[in-house]
Amino acid sequence: MTILPIDAGRYGTDAMKEIFDDQKKISYQLEIEGAVAQAQSEIRMIPKSAAQNIAQMARSGKITVKRVKQLEAKSDHDTAALVEALSEICKSSARPWIHYGLTSNDLVDTSNSLQIRDAISIIEPKIAKLAIILAELAVKYKDTPAVGRTHGQHASIISFGLKFANSSLEMAKHIERIEEVKKRILICKTLGVVGTGSLMGAKALEVQKRVAKKLALFPADVTTQVVPRERYAEFIFSIALIGATLEKLAVEIRNLQRTEIGEVAEPFKKGQMGSSAVPVKRNPVKSERVTSLSKLLRSQISVAFENIPLWHERDLSNSANERFILPTGSILIDEMLEAMTIILRRLYVNEEQIRNNLEFTKGQIFSEFVLEALIKKGVPRFEAYRDIQRVAFAASENRIDFKDAVKNDSAISLHLTEEEIDRIFVPENHLGASGQIIRNVYNLVKKSCFKFS
């Protein structure tokens, strides 16, 4: 019986979900057992023949979820069941050395790191791809003047490409953040019951260092029985932060797709239905999905933070919920990246409507530039401000064009000629440094994302 939509195949890619599959989890933990045995034999802690047999059997693929669960039904301990299953297929001479010096969370926490490592290897290229798509859209629309809105109101003129450039650079910064956080979250821990490496003694750190290298992880500097949960909280926070940027993009697309704005639209395939009742609707459902999943992803942060203060050297109050938040968080961000990539690759941009919206206020969007022109003529700022406000409010009340109202006002026309006023009301004249900003962003994104794309 399927309960969660993730299990039903509704969200997340197969590649990401495979990382958190039960059989894959067992494979990760067996890989750790094999790596530990090999590392211990390299420094003559255990017999080489035993290590070879343990590593060979750990990687044989003979240990199944079914068998581990059968043993767990008796022991009520999943890690003990896995170790017992490995013992069943190893030589009798190797069995005493299986799991030597380890505790359950050496496997659990280190396998969590392997899962996170592989999840990141899926996430990073998708972030990079999205950053590049956004950068290319920024360049494409860098010379397109559009309404810039603050507080939901028309404020001033913006390059439409600048909207994409902002999010493009933030996606690239997420790559930087992930690269920086790897050394703190991809931790190998093999220090036993309370983090002392007691059974392995003075050689415990050397074993851990060698295992970490074999697994492409970073050796823990200090732990209790568990890796400090600050590490997992940082991972969950990092992917939730990516989700928040995706949500920011989604909210902008949803707003710009509103009927009364109509500047963009999500792709709408043949046969798609926007509404079961209204045939003409084209709803921004993918952007709404990103928004919805971002809320769920963010909620995982509080759980991860609650797991930080464990009792003494550890308790189990984190264990059950981490079985949810680590796979769920990874699968959700994967789904959100996939959805946003689909949206942006085929985003419809209505340049005609963008131009129409510039005229929605009958020219009042140019008031900032009228103010600037008067100031440059020597008119005190607040005198000019009040004159423009007076003219603009009267123009709105009388439903006349703001440019005409400016030309007909004696206080303003005393300082500005008709030709000067006409030049002010050309939107392409007011893109400022947008072109250079966008080119800079494009170059930064290409440089930082090239190796991942």
Q: Which residues are catalytic?
A: 151, 275
Helix (H) or strand (E) holding 336, with range, is helix 319-345
The residues, any chain, with a CB within 8 Å of residue 289's CB and separated by 6 or more, are 339
The residues, any chain, with a CB within 8 Å of residue 320's CB and separated by 6 or more, are none
| Cβ(113)–Cβ(234) below 8 Å | no
| Cβ(331)–Cβ(126) below 8 Å | no
Compute and round to an integer the Cα radius of gyration of the chain: 30
Q: Give the span between the Cα atoms of 234 and 216, in whole angstroms.
A: 20
Of 399, 438, 408, the C-alpha closest to 163 is 438
Structure tokens at 263: 């500047």
| Cβ(20)–Cβ(327) below 8 Å | yes
| Cβ(314)–Cβ(224) below 8 Å | yes
Q: Give the span between the Cα atoms of 323 and 314, in whole angstroms.
A: 17
Q: 36: number of CA atoms within 13 Å, CB side?
A: 29
Helices within 102-229 (DSSP H only): 104-140, 160-185, 204-215
Which amino acid, one-letter code, is at 261?
Answer: I
Q: Give the span between the Cα atoms of 137 and 341, in whole angstroms.
A: 12
Structure tokens at 194: 């309370």
Which amino acid, one-letter code, is at 253?
Answer: I
Strands (E), 27-85: none
Of 327, 392, 338, 405, the C-alpha closest to 365 is 392
| Cβ(31)–Cβ(59) below 8 Å | yes
Q: Are strands 264-265 and 348-349 parallel, antiparallel or unpaired?
A: antiparallel
114 burial via Cβ count (<10 Å: 0-12, 13-18, 19+): buried
Query: Angle 381-398/367-376 helices, nearest 10 degrees?
Result: 150
Structure tokens at 43: 């420094």
